[in-house]
Amino acid sequence: MEKFGLSYQRLKKTVESKGYKFFENGAFDVNIFGVRFGYDVVNEFNDIVGVAYKDEFGNEVCLAFKATTKPGLYWLKNKLMNKQGTFIMMPGQYRSCWYAGLHGKTRYPALRQNGKNQFKGWRDNDSDGKFDVDGPIYSDAMYVNGHTTSFKNDIDKVGPYSAGCQVIQDSEEFKAWLAVIYRSMESHGDKVSYTLLESKDFENG
């Protein structure tokens, strides 16, 4: 991931090559994205979550932060929130899926899931500590939010901080990400979209 260079134009090309919409309707029309780096490593922040947009001067901006787009080992192996298994979001574009809200029991600012049937994914229920990304596809997950880990402590492992949510590791980076999205909502509406890509989608970009 450290060698993975990402620019506004590279992201745009990749998003559009998948047949998804890339948003460019004026300043701060945000493209919120995740990039997943495979399924071999469990419980690490080895993915990217970011945002790309043009600022008020027309400058292209692409911010990318260390994150996870996959659930942590706590939910994957030790505790199931759903009897069908822990939710693993499928790559795809999810339109108007989030709004500004509060996350779970912590009640801190986050992007909150906008109602039912917003996301598609697999469910892993064999508790073997490995990602199962085949089998039936579900769209029943609720509270799949965009958030961070802790505003009080430095967190090294995903652990209980994701049960399928998209989670930026560092809280200060999360604040920067969220501030841009809040700015976007002032001009472009209170619902935002999310596009989850895989690193292999960029191989020809």
Angle at 204 between CA 199 and CA 205, to 5 degrees: 80
Q: For residue 115, is it within any domain?
A: yes
pLDDT at 205 (0 to 100): 59
| Residue 103, strand partner residues | 108
Instruction: Please give the pLDDT value at position 19.
Output: 98
Domain membership flag for residue 2: no
1: in domain? no
pLDDT digits (tens, 9 = 90+) for 62-103: 999 999 999 999 999 876 778 899 999 999 999 999 999 998
Identify the pLDDT of residue 105: 72
pLDDT for 79 = 64
Residue 159 has pLDDT above 70, yes or no: yes
- Give the number of domains in the chain: 1
Q: Is the pLDDT of residue 188 over 70?
A: yes
Q: Is 3 within a domain?
A: no
Is 90 exceeded by the pLDDT of residue 106?
Answer: no
Question: Whole domain around residue 45: which residue ranges?
Answer: 8-202
Whether 59 maps to a domain, the answer reads: yes
Of 182, 188, 144, 140, residue with least CA distance to 166: 144
| Residue 155: C-alpha distances to residues 2, 73, 77, 124, 126 (Å) | 19, 14, 19, 24, 26
In a domain? residue 61: yes
Q: Is residue 37 part of a domain?
A: yes
> Which one has a higher pLDDT value, 184 or 107?
184
**Residue 120: pLDDT over 90:** yes
The model's pTM: 0.95
pLDDT in tens, 3-59: 578 999 999 999 999 999 999 999 999 999 999 999 999 999 999 999 999 999 999
pLDDT tens digits for range 162-173: 999 999 999 999
Report if residue 125 sits inside a domain. yes
